[in-house]
Structure 1
């Protein structure tokens, strides 16, 4: 079964690094789409079925918090699992993200062997 992931980050090099990490983790039949901010991500989601979203929170135009809030407010997209990927985040901000529907928080420097079980668990939980 082909899965579709969406990586949302304003840094092209970071999106590429995240994609490489996911691919090195060994997922088969995977399409990875990219968006530079929440606004672009919402447009893409409307035309492309997405199984899982990995997003940064600090982005121009539409940040991760606004993006996730809008996404989770839409009936057709509210069940898409969302992983928040950040360099650092304080506990108060992390709690706010959990309250709007973020399923998992991971660090940007995560290794392929660390990300695979997290992504697999998250996907299985929401099937």
Structure 2
């Protein structure tokens, strides 16, 4: 059960990182347009869920992760009230989201590699 929760938590974080990278791409495309709408990812629900999962029992976490009432864990908001961001800042956001995604996939890969070694009896 703990393995499933770890994988679900990483999958949730991967989804949020992917969304942040996509939104950063949208903002980069619109950076040169005058009065362009800036998009922002609101991931407070995903953060709350992952923090709750860190200290909960496996049954509680399973209920949190598979709650059919929750439609999405991150929301993209259009913001017209934000100052126009520099292209360097937007590219840094994109790179940061990409690196976060890469780190999560690498940790998940290592997790599965260790499980495979444990199953085959190697150390």
Shorter-chain TM band: under 0.3
Q: Answer 1 or 2: higher relative contact order, Cα 8 Å, separation at least 6.
A: 2
Question: Bigger radius of gyration, 1 or 2?
Answer: 2
- With the length of structure 2 as denominator, give the TM-score of the two structures: 0.25
Structure with higher helix content:
2
TM-score with structure 1 setting the length: 0.25
